[in-house]
Amino acid sequence: MASDILKAFQEKGNHAVGNLNSLKIKTVANGAIVEGADIDNFTLGELGFNAEGERTVKQLSANNKKAVLVASPETRYLGEEITKFYNAVGERVRCVILEEGYTRFETSAFTKNSGVSEIKNGQVAHFDVTTKKFIVSDVASAHADYTTASTQFLVVNNEEDMQYTLGKPMIRFEVIKA
């Protein structure tokens, strides 16, 4: 006989994971309530307000909108894997304000642009609203959407440099345009 709890224990999560690397970060006061759809940690969102005047956040909807990093601390009750965590609609989450030349973070939510065979320091990235992942490109042949992205990133550590991966390959970004 099956049970929902047994099924939940057996399913492997596949959500994005990451870490903040900046010594001090600025966050949106009192966080924001997720609206629209669930959001993976260490992806980008956009801020708004609901009818009650509370701050809301939804997944970034356009490349040219101002973005925040959704990076809520995980609370592990039963030793869950970090890949099982996400930010559900209606939850209050931590939103990190991105600062040029200062904000650094690691994320597993990335993919390689065509022509990129390996991740190397010095490459650039932007967030793709369709795949909900960062696209890593070589500087000389950046993705077509990179130049119009309101937020741009520099790769400062590749996946081989990470001492801890939280179960998924990760790379580290530094904000170069916010």
* 3-class secondary structure, 153: strand
User: Quick one: pLDDT at residue 57?
Assistant: 98
Tokens of 86: 């996400």
Report how many domains make up the chain: 1
Q: Tell which wins on pLDDT, 78 or 111.
A: 111
Give 87's DSSP letter.
Answer: B
Backbone CA torsion sign across 122, 123, 128, 133: negative
User: Quick one: pLDDT at residue 151?
Assistant: 97
User: Quick one: pLDDT at residue 109?
Assistant: 96
Give the burial string for 99-118 (b: 16+ CB within 10 Å, else e). eeeebbbbbbbbeebeebee
Domain span including residue 32: 4-177
Q: Tell which wins on pLDDT, 173 or 84.
A: 173
User: Quick one: pLDDT at residue 122?
Assistant: 95
Mean pLDDT, range 65-90, rounded to an integer: 87
For residue 60, is pLDDT > 80? Answer: yes
Three-state secondary structure readout of 8-65: HHHCCCCCCCEEECCCCCEECCCCEEECCCCECCCEEEEEEECCCCCEEEEECCCCCC
Which of the four pLDDT bands, split at 50, 70 and 90, describes residue 75? Answer: confident
| Model confidence pLDDT, tens digit, residues 153-163 | 999 987 666 55
Lowest mean pLDDT among 7-11, 22-26, 125-129, 130-134: 7-11
Mean pLDDT, range 19-31, rounded to an integer: 93
pLDDT averaged over every residue in the chain: 89
User: Quick one: pLDDT at residue 168?
Assistant: 82
Nearest to residue 96, comparing CAs of 14, 13, 178? 178
Mean pLDDT, range 41-60, rounded to an integer: 97
User: Quick one: pLDDT at residue 19?
Assistant: 87
